[in-house]
């Protein structure tokens, strides 16, 4: 077809940044006032021969893996997102390229991505998703979790989620759940993400029954098998009232849909960073067809555009937040605040960027100053 655009070049750059007050304890990101954690991310630019450039930054896939996958995109039509998705959906790099291709389409058409996906709303409700507990200070005990939930409620948040990982005693997790219920129960939606921390079905059941008592909105990824055994999670659903949210720990859209079909979850986790916008929209529509909600994972403009295009999603995740850590995410957005604790308005809503593509002006100068390596792919 005459005038069909072609991809001519793809640039990929890794970068790092420091987060003061953060430490990795038992592989979890916890608050420690005496520590500074170095984190790593990546940025990508996809160039088309019509002058448009698609961008996406903040992802955490290995740089070389993305560069190797990018070689297969050179000379192809950037509009063929479905073809690229089907060819690469089993690998970690596909989502990075898919998201940048959606931004490229927005730049080519001068439209925001959510309009291209099918606009449904322009503001979305958010929940405060806490850092993984604390070594000391705020979030190091159940009472300070309740204090922070109260703070978030007063800011306008409608929902609050905890990750109490650094405590080995499951009873302390139960105490945190009950403390939240006592303090803000009935005033905001409450969630627990156990990140598959509990080692036995019995521990998962104990915590689930505490969530019942406290009236939690969802109970996420309960125990250590990672959601890979739908049968046992279907049994857990029969024994507690709190809805389960699952899907983060399996890799593909098909595996997540199987959790739905096996009655192993009440909400399904969508992950734009793993399945791209193309795959996550497939899952959203499949879930809607059986009356189920999809909850997007983590922060970023790409997740806002996803939520703006679907009906069956409840909350945008502002992750990971803490009273003393302003932002866990890299400072790469020059024209918007969509990841910090204070990104909401007084009604607990986040506005979806409405510029072309994701509407994002990335700070490429910051990325280059903190570069950990760069790859340019031309064929």
Asked whether 165 and 30 are in contact (CB, 8 A), the reply is: yes
Tell me the CATH number of domain 7-110+359-377, given options 3.30.390.10, 3.40.50.800, 1.10.1040.10, 1.10.274.10: 3.30.390.10
Alpha-helical runs (H) found in 226-372: 230-239, 253-261, 272-289, 301-308, 364-369
Joined tokens for residue 286: 């499949």
CB 22 within 8 A of CB 29: yes
Which of 78, 74, 71 is CA-nearest to residue 98? Answer: 78
Give the pLDDT of residue 227: 63
* pLDDT tens over the chain, length 379 residues: 458 999 999 999 999 999 999 998 777 889 999 999 999 999 999 999 999 999 999 999 999 999 999 999 999 999 999 999 999 998 999 999 999 999 999 999 999 999 999 999 999 999 999 999 898 999 999 999 999 999 999 999 999 999 987 788 999 999 999 999 999 999 999 999 998 889 899 999 999 999 999 999 999 999 876 567 899 999 999 999 999 999 998 889 999 999 999 999 999 999 999 999 999 999 999 999 999 999 999 999 999 999 999 999 999 999 999 999 989 999 999 999 999 999 999 999 999 999 999 999 999 999 999 999 999 999 7
Q: Are 121 and 308 in contact (CB under 8 A)?
A: yes
Given this model, what pLDDT does residue 154 score?
98
The CATH classification number of 116-351 equals 3.20.20.120
| Domain ranges across the chain | 7-110+359-377, 116-351
Helix, strand, coil in percent for the chain, rounding step 5:
35, 25, 35
Query: What is the predicted pLDDT for the residue at 1?
Result: 46
Orientation angle between helical segments 63-70 and 94-109, nearest 10 degrees: 60
Burial letters 25-64, b for 16+ CB under 10 A, else e: beebbbbbeeeebebebbbbbbbbeeebbbbbbbbebebe
In degrees, to the nearest 5, what angle opens at C-alpha 195 toward C-alphas 133 and 338?
Answer: 70
- Closest Cα partner for 3 from 49, 53, 72, 54? 49
The pLDDT of residue 164 is: 85
Alpha helices in 195-229 (DSSP H): 201-214
């Amino acid at each position: 077809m005459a005038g069909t655009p072609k991809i001519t070049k793809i640039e990929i750059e890794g970068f790092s940044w420091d987060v003061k007050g953060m430490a990795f304890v038992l592989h979890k990101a916890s608050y420690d006032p005496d520590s500074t954690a170095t984190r790593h991310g990546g940025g990508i630019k996809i160039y088309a021969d019509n002058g448009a450039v698609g961008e996406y930054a903040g992802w955490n896939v290995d740089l070389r893996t993305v560069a190797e996958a990018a070689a297969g995109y050179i000379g192809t039509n950037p509009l063929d997102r479905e073809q690229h998705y089907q060819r690469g959906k089993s690998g970690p790099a596909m989502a990075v390229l898919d998201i940048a291709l959606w931004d490229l389409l927005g730049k080519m058409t001068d439209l925001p991505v959510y309009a291209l996906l099918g606009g449904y709303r322009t503001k979305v409700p958010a929940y405060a998703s806490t850092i993984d507990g604390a070594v000391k200070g705020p979030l190091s005990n159940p009472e300070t979790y309740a204090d922070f939930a109260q703070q978030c409620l007063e800011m306008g948040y409608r929902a609050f989620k905890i990750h109490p990982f650094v405590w080995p005693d499951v009873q302390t997790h139960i105490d945190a759940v009950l403390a939240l219920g006592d303090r803000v129960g009935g005033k905001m939606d409450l969630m627990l993400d156990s990140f598959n921390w509990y080692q036995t079905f019995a521990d998962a059941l104990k915590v689930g029954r505490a969530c019942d008592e406290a009236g939690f909105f969802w109970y996420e990824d309960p125990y250590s098998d990672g959601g890979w055994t739908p049968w046992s999670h279907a049994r857990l659903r029969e024994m507690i009232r709190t809805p389960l949210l699952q899907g983060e720990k399996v890799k593909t859209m098909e595996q997540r849909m199987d959790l739905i079909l096996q009655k192993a979850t009440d909400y399904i986790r969508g992950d734009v960073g793993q399945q791209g916008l193309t795959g996550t929209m497939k899952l959203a529509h499949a879930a809607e067809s059986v009356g189920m909600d999809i909850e997007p994972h983590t922060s970023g403009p790409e997740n806002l555009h996803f939520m703006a295009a679907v009906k069956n999603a409840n909350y945008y995740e502002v992750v990971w937040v803490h009273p003393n850590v302003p932002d866990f995410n890299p400072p790469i957005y020059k024209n918007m605040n969509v990841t910090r604790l204070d990104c909401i308005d007084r009604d607990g809503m986040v506005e979806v960027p409405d510029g072309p593509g994701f509407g994002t002006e990335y700070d490429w100068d910051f990325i280059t100053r903190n570069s950990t390596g760069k790859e340019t792919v031309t064929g």
